[in-house]
Amino acid sequence: MNWLLIAFIVALIVSPVMWLKPSPKQKRVMRLRAHAAKAGVRVKLAAPPLHAAGKLMPSYRWGYPKERPGPRFVAVRETAASNVLKSVCHGWRWRIEPLRPLPEAIHRRLEALLTRLPQDALVLESDEHGLTLWWYESQGPERFDSYLGDLAALRDDLAGRPDRPSKLRPLVK
């Protein structure tokens, strides 16, 4: 009987520690985020640019150089978009279309990337500061590597193509 009581007490002490242990999914996401950070991608949780988005979502941002801002656009997967929005390519719609049309080569690169992103990738957003992928991190670092090159190349193509002209500096006498 004493052994049973001791086993019960030990179980009470050890059980909270087991709750603190990360799950396999949490371990995979931690590895993915660390891998992305090593590749120069900024990862954070934020409210996505979706209509009536109620919760935070992981965002992966490839920054534009400060002196070469990018265009503003938001492409949303059709499952999260209204049917009245203009189509970007199969499965994606513009929530905010770029003010200046993208050159054909860049548009083709964008379409190719959008069609191969995982199903949990809901938004690809660009603003003057960076290119941001909003997704639920369904894949591991190895699979994410297959998107890294394409996203970095798209970021490089979009850099220096802002929607608005840069602000003029005052003349120094």
User: For the segment 144-169, what is each residue's pLDDT rounded down to a tens digit?
Assistant: 999 999 999 999 999 998 877 666 44
- Average pLDDT value for the chain: 87
User: For the segment 42-62, what is each residue's pLDDT rounded down to a tens digit?
Assistant: 999 999 988 776 789 999 999
| Top-confidence residue, 18 or 156 | 156
| Distance, CA of 82 to chain centre | 21
| Top-confidence residue, 163 or 14 | 163
| pTM for the full predicted model | 0.81
| Top-confidence residue, 52 or 3 | 3
User: For the segment 99-137, what is each residue's pLDDT rounded down to a tens digit?
Assistant: 888 999 999 999 999 999 999 999 999 999 999 999 999
Percent of the chain with pLDDT strictly greater than 70 = 91
